[in-house]
Amino acid sequence: MSIDTLAPSDAAAILENEVRELVRRRALDPVRDRAGLERLVADAASDYTDRATRGLVPALADPHDAARAVVDALGGLGPLQKYLDDPEVEEVWINSPAKVFVARRGVPELTTTILTAAQVRDLVERMLKASGRRLDLSSPFVDASLPGGERLHVVIPDVTRDHMAVNIRKHLVRADHLDHLVRLGSLTAHAAAFLDAAVRAGLNVLVSGATQAGKTTMLNALAGSIPAGQRVISCEEVFEVRFAARDHVAMQCRQPSLEGTGEIPLRRLVKEALRMRPDRIVIGEVREAESFDMLVALNAGIPGMCTVHSNSAREAVTKMCTLPLLAGENVSDRFVVPTVASAIDLVVHLDVAADGARQVREIVAVTGRVEADRVETAGIFHRLTHDQGGDLVRGDGFPPGEERFARVGVDVRSLLAGAR
């Protein structure tokens, strides 16, 4: 076959093979030494273009795009890398090799990217290589962090019908303080001032909402109000929470080994956090029995924050009254319900609007009282309906712990009345 009959894709494949050989000869790690890889590819592409002008190799359709594709193939995630590099893309998921989706600003769309089953397997193996976590028939699910901070979740057949189901969730740090959420339109300046004072005063905050409602972003923004001199211990399934506390220790869970040993669940992390002299505890998300250990920590006087999946603030409180029952038969609602009422102070509930925008739907206070086995709550802020303007407005509720606000120099009554 002559050079003239080769397609541009063949030229790109030749360039990639040449670069792979150079990487092998120079013992270059393309993942860890991204800058070195980019220099190597730039030199190789320049040399290839020079040979193409002399008719020695087929010409590249676009040398710049070809070089970028080689860098992505060797040092990134190949065809998916452009979505990870796109600041507008929040999540990438693969339902089948021919169905690759992304979400931009909360709105999903089907991409034009088409992969093969072999490419999907190769991408998953490459992503898991850095995490040290495994995926096989005995462990068909995996939850891991990528080197760039993205969260990976994979399910393999025969749990799925035919193909691997892959989700890559990017944590876009659009807000590391409550003021940033005000600029993004998620909440008002009045509500942000109240939440900032509540965190500084040491109130325990539960952030609730559906998947992709912005719970982790809200947790990061709330953590930005923690006083600088305090020691923060965070516990998560995989690392997602990021905040700039000066004294911060982050811990994540660990899956069991091939022998079934060495697993570290979230419950263990919460227990260990109590031995690390915390001034604050931040838990990425509670789903099961770890909620009991969190309640014990909060009831011991250590201020904390966490997230939970729910459809409303009221449902979040109810869920916190039932999840701890999973901790064992000796845990009863007679202990859990009053503990929730006394340990949790605020619930910040988030929602996703029809256009994909994340918004604070309501901020609810837990008053500390229990009536007929039901924890009493009071609305501090709530969002009006679209027909009413959709604004986040002040309710008639009042938060607990007025004396805690006073200790940090905040007159919470004046603050809620609108004085700044």
pLDDT bucket at 134, cuts 50 / 70 / 90 = confident
The answer to whether residue 124 scores a pLDDT higher than 50 is yes
In tens, the pLDDT along 24-40 reads: 998 888 878 888 999 99
In tens, the pLDDT along 322-370 reads: 999 999 888 988 899 999 999 999 999 999 887 778 899 999 999 999 9
pTM of the predicted model as reported, rounded to 2 decimal places = 0.80
In tens, the pLDDT along 300-330 reads: 889 999 999 999 999 999 999 999 999 988 8
- How distant is the alpha carbon of residue 419 from its chain centre? 34
Q: Helix (H, G, I), strand (E, B), or coil: what is residue 243?
A: coil
Nearest to 351 by CA among 342, 363, 343, 341: 363
- Does residue 118 or residue 129 have the better pLDDT? 118
pLDDT of residue 420: 41
The mean pLDDT value for 79-84 works out to 92
The mean pLDDT value for 278-298 works out to 92
pLDDT of residue 5: 47
- Does residue 81 or residue 387 have the better pLDDT? 81
pLDDT of residue 231: 95
pLDDT of residue 94: 97
Q: Among positive and negative, which fits the CA dihedral 60, 66, 67, 73?
A: negative
Dihedral in degrees, nearest 10, Cα atoms 348, 353, 356, 357? -50
Q: Tokens 């150079």 sit at which residue? A: 22
Which ranges of 111-188 does DSSP label H, i.e. alpha helix? Answer: 117-131, 178-184
Mean pLDDT of the chain: 89
Q: What does the buried/exposed string (b/e) look like for 318-349 if buried means 16 or more CB atoms within 10 Å of the residue's CB?
A: bbbbebbbebeeeeeeeebbbbbbbbbbbbbb
The mean pLDDT value for 253-281 works out to 87
Q: Among positive and negative, which fits the CA dihedral 144, 148, 151, 153?
A: negative
pLDDT of residue 172: 65
Q: What does the buried/exposed string (b/e) look like for 223-256 if buried means 16 or more CB atoms within 10 Å of the residue's CB?
A: bbbbeeebebbbbbbbbbbbbebeebebbbbebe
